[in-house]
């Protein structure tokens, strides 16, 4: 359970983007594979995030409140996942986007050939506008694109909420 919560927190950290040129490249790449049976596709529209923001939720849970403080400023989420030729899709995706226009947030590579890369665009302050996650390896390709305005102060609150949950310390 703790692992799930950490992954969920990372997912929301990865949130946020409004970069026009790169959004076009990401949209084109995403749309290219939208109806391709080799891919699992997830798209959450701006309207859906607006609905989250308008919901009158009674949130007693500190974690839920922290998640909603991040989610309310998201504009879209797109995910592509494929288990067929994942390395090829990873390389293709990196070529499709000008990753030089992003700041590298984190890169992980292992001997098994797995690559994980987080890229962000921000306003130079405490707001992340775009987060792009690319994963490629022997088993799976994943592209996650988050667009919105994510305040790093809200991310800090989210992290604190999850760290304060010591009940699941042994749940992996």
Tell me the pLDDT tens digit for each residue of 4-52. 444 444 555 444 333 344 456 788 889 999 999 999 999 988 888 878 7
The two three-digit tokens of residue 152, written as one number: 């790093």
pLDDT of residue 21: 41
pLDDT score of 68 more than 60: yes
Does residue 147 form part of some domain? yes
Does residue 101 form part of some domain? yes
Mean pLDDT of 93-108: 84
Does residue 22 form part of some domain? yes
pLDDT score of 88 more than 70: yes
Does residue 73 form part of some domain? yes
pLDDT of residue 129: 86
The two three-digit tokens of residue 45, written as one number: 């529209």
Does residue 60 form part of some domain? yes
22 and 100 Cβ atoms separated by less than 8 Å: no
Does residue 93 form part of some domain? yes
Overall domain count for the chain: 1
pLDDT category of residue 2 using cuts at 50, 70 and 90: very low
pLDDT of residue 57: 63
Does residue 82 form part of some domain? yes
Q: Residue 49: give the domain boundaries.
A: 2-167
HSE of 37, CA atoms in CB hemisphere, 13 A:
0
């Amino acid at each position: 359970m703790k692992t799930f919560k950490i992954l969920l927190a990372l997912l929301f950290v990865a949130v946020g983007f409004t970069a026009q040129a790169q959004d076009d490249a990401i949209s084109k790449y995403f749309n290219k594979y939208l109806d391709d049976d080799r891919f699992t596709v997830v798209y959450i529209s701006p309207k859906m995030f607006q609905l989250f923001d308008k919901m009158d939720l009674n949130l007693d849970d500190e974690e839920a409140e922290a998640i909603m403080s991040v989610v309310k400023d998201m504009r879209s989420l797109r995910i592509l996942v494929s288990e067929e030729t994942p390395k090829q899709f990873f390389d293709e995706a990196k070529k499709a986007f000008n990753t030089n226009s992003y700041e590298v947030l984190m890169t992980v590579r292992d001997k098994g050939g797995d690559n994980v890369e987080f890229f962000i665009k921000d306003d130079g302050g405490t707001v992340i506008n775009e987060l792009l996650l690319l994963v490629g390896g022997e088993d799976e390709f994943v592209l996650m694109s988050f667009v919105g305005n994510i305040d790093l102060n809200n991310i800090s609150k989210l992290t604190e909420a999850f760290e304060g949950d010591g009940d699941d310390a042994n749940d992996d």
